[in-house]
A and B are shown apart, each in its own frame.
Chain A
Amino acid sequence: MAEDTLFQAVLDPANRADPYPLYARLRESPVSIQRDGSAVVSTHEAIRSLIFDPRLSSEDLPPSHRPRTGNPLKDWLLNPLKDRIATAHRPLIFRDPPDHDTLRHAVMREFSVARVRALRQRVVRDVDALIDACRGRDEVCLVEDLSYPLPVSVICDMLGVPEADEPQFQAWATQLATALEPDARHDEASRHRTVAAFDAISGYMRALIREKRRRPTADLLSALAAPSPSGKPAMGDFDLISTAILLLVAGHETTVNLITNGMLTLLRHPRELERLRADPERAPRVIEELLRYEPPVHFRTRKALGAIEIAGRTIPKGAPVILLFAAANRDPARFREPDRFDPDREDNQHFGFGGGLHYCMGAPLARIEAEIALVALSRRLVAPRLMADPPPYRPGASLRGPERLGIRISGLAPG
């Protein structure tokens, strides 16, 4: 297989369950230029260098473009205006400094360690309640029963989004997350669906933010919407909406994979599951190794603003650059026995949360949720067995994780 079809194979759903052999072959050339001009980067060293390279831009998303409606007022005035606003106010994962820094700073001030720690007890209660709800069953679907509802409920609570509204934006969140998938970017119809989902969810957020301004509560959205002491809001309304959407989507589409991949991996390594059950203090090590071994996000796309010479190749100016974090996480030049799941690993500098200036803002939250969930699952599920291995996967190659994870159990231990 030629280099440039390897990445096509990565995108092929048939390889979703085990892309790692493909990654190993991609790593043979740290940077491989695809036929469409994009550069796939797959070694730890090359990615490490690129995430700190100021020539790599995150503003790689194609501009927003609403489809023709036949209504001249919409086609010639309203929609072009909306497209320009949406393009100019992308969420901060698609922004560069200095705007990126301003937005991130405003969010991070509120996405604080203290706010995340305060959620710990709540996560513990949620996890126990979700597991209790499986009482009497001999089969659970981990995705449906725990790994999806947990982070969704936590992010809704943290943001201040009424959980009762969740069913209406679940589909929007899934559609918006496809913006990270290379296939969807090139697919006009999918991009139109994304714009429609964006319009719907931003209408919802606009109303919610208005409500938060009227009656502020203790949540993050109220804090971001409130004027700062100087009287100036932390960010403009359009940025506020896109930031709120980003946090909500990220809460829906990433941690679910960390928890599901985590339990899947532990069920494939029963000795590690047992060790975690016996010693919950191992949880942080287990989570870090999971973030390396089966990360929730496999790659992100950037754009080269200038020609970049790296690892003996030149990434041409303007080329999309695919940072294959999950391949770097298995780089034998960086990790000893990279294909072995080993929570006792030292010096585990993985890219499970990406890296550089776009390093995951939700990392502390994801870690806490995954720790609590996996410890509880290891202690409470009696004799858990995988029902299908590999399980069926969701379509995404970047946000990669099982669609369902059926586990047969012989009962529940008390919480």
Chain B
Amino acid sequence: MTAGDTAGIVVVGASLAGLRGAEALRRNGYAGRLTIVGDEPHRPYDRPPLSKHVLSGELAPDATGLPELVALDAHWRLGHAATALDREARAITLADGTRLAYERLLIATGAQARPWPAASGGRLQNVFTLRSRDDAARLRTALAGAPRRVLIVGAGLIGCEAASCCRDLGLPVTLVDPNPTPLARSLGTWVGGVLVDCLRDAGVTFQAGAQVLRFEGDASGRVVRAQLADGRAVEADLVIVALGATRATDWLADAGLMADSRGVTCDGACRVLRADGTPCPDIYAAGDVARWPNALCGDRLMSVEHWGNAVAQSAQAARNMLAAAEDQQTYRHLPAFWSSQFGINIKAVGANAGADAVAIVQGTRASRRFLAVYGRAGRSVGAVSFDQARWLPAYAEAVAEGRAFPPIEEATDQGTFLAHAPGFPPARATFHPIGVRHG
């Protein structure tokens, strides 16, 4: 008997996927030792409110704790990140030097905010990213100090939600993005154009097609302005860098797994692949960090950085971890996200990026209340609703079944059906090999 036999299951990552995965292990009857490792000192908390109610001050940062839905009886190892994985010895190393043995491992380390390079002003005071609860607390304090102007770099979900909150707080906001509209990568510029109007009405200065070169500080090291590539400058004493996230896989650099900044590559059953492409029988991954061939999206390798995926995938991984090798179930997931900004509730399903057509199927863009469906090569691949979510499930079902585009042609509130070019920007180079740091 080796030490590993009593080591039980170790879950690395103490956020939504880690917690729900641990709960699923217990729910599926696992009674052995369960250890949960987290790099932050906090028990699992919910991230979606951080860029909304926490920034606006409606919710205290520490009021975001996730409920434990099942008695976990777990050993919590919080405050020290995992730094290495030794597959041969079946053990991980933590930042404080501790070694933890495991029988089975669930990787749920998630992602980290893509930081601004230090050489271009990333270390100046009042330059923030927004990912963790502590990030949100710091940013909230800074916003409460009444900055003269907030500059937000990146008009993705986090950038837009932060802009919306800052305007609710009455703060002057400039939002810059290299694309012509917000949410261009997730929804395309045709739908994103609606948000351009919302930004204008909300009083946000939106600089489309703009690229920030560097931030400049004053003598005390506090940010005062951003220099744009076109020679203009934006005077701002608070900066939020919202450039998306990179998967937290640095700690796996020497583990001999298929892991890089795009995530940990798994097979369809959430089993992590070795560098040679074969699955590890004892290591699974779930949540933002997991990259897997999604049968609902043509077996494309994808990672889905959204709440619903963390919950569903960790449950599937936990189930498979306890099942025999010949009873591994494939994880299929229709990506979905929601956002609330500028008083609008946005919900989206499917893999919209890469669509070649988009059409309003209910409502109108002018009313900012509509449901639009995305098509690719004649099939429905995604849908988005602006304040019109009640019927989204019907379209989600059509997308999951890969029905023809448009999927439903005899609906209430349906105008003349017209397909448009969705306007997705060309793919950017997001691949950064492990070891290249941006801080």
Contact = CB atoms under 8 A, between A and B. Distances in A.
A101 B345 CA distance: 14
Contacts of A54: 361-362, 371, 391, 394-395, 408, 411-414
Interface string B272-300: 00000000000000000000000000000
B410 A306 contact: yes
Nearest to A51: B390
A100 B411 CA distance: 14
Contacts of B363: 97-98
B2 interface: no
Interface residues of A, number: 18
B68 interface: no
Contact of A101 (B369, B395, B408): B369
Contacts of B391: 52-54, 357
Contacts of A305: 410-412
Contacts of B414: 54
Chain B interface mostly helix, strand, loop or mixed? Answer: mixed
A98 B413 contact: yes
Question: Interface residues of B toward A: which range?
Answer: 20 to 34
B67 interface: no
20 contacts: A52-B390, A52-B391, A52-B393, A54-B361, A54-B371, A54-B391, A54-B411, A54-B412, A55-B408, A55-B411, A56-B412, A57-B412, A96-B412, A97-B363, A97-B412, A98-B363, A98-B413, A305-B412, A306-B409, A357-B391
B367 interface: yes
Contact of B413 (A49, A96, A306, A307): A96
Interface in B362-399: 362-364, 367, 369, 371, 388, 390-391, 393-395
A97 B361 CA distance: 12
Nearest to B393: A52
A269 interface: no
Contacts of A307: 410
Contacts of B410: 55, 305-307, 317
Interface string A70-98: 00000000000000000000000000111
Interface string B400-433: 0000000011111110000000000000000000
A-B residue pairs, 4 tightest by C-beta = A306-B410, A54-B411, A96-B412, A97-B413
A356 interface: yes
Nearest to B410: A306
Interface in B250-264: none
Contacts of A306: 408-411
Given A49-B394, A52-B393, 15 more contacts: A52-B391, A53-B391, A53-B394, A54-B362, A55-B408, A56-B412, A57-B412, A59-B412, A96-B413, A97-B412, A97-B413, A98-B363, A98-B367, A307-B410, A357-B390
A52 B394 contact: yes
A356 B367 contact: no
A49 B363 CA distance: 21
A315 to B, nearest CB: 12
Residue from B361, B390, B409 having most chain A Cβ neighbours under 10 A: B390
Interface string A22-64: 0000000000000000000000000001001111110100000
Contacts of B394: 49, 52-54
B135 to A, nearest CB: 33
Contacts of B413: 54, 96-98
Contacts of A53: 391, 394
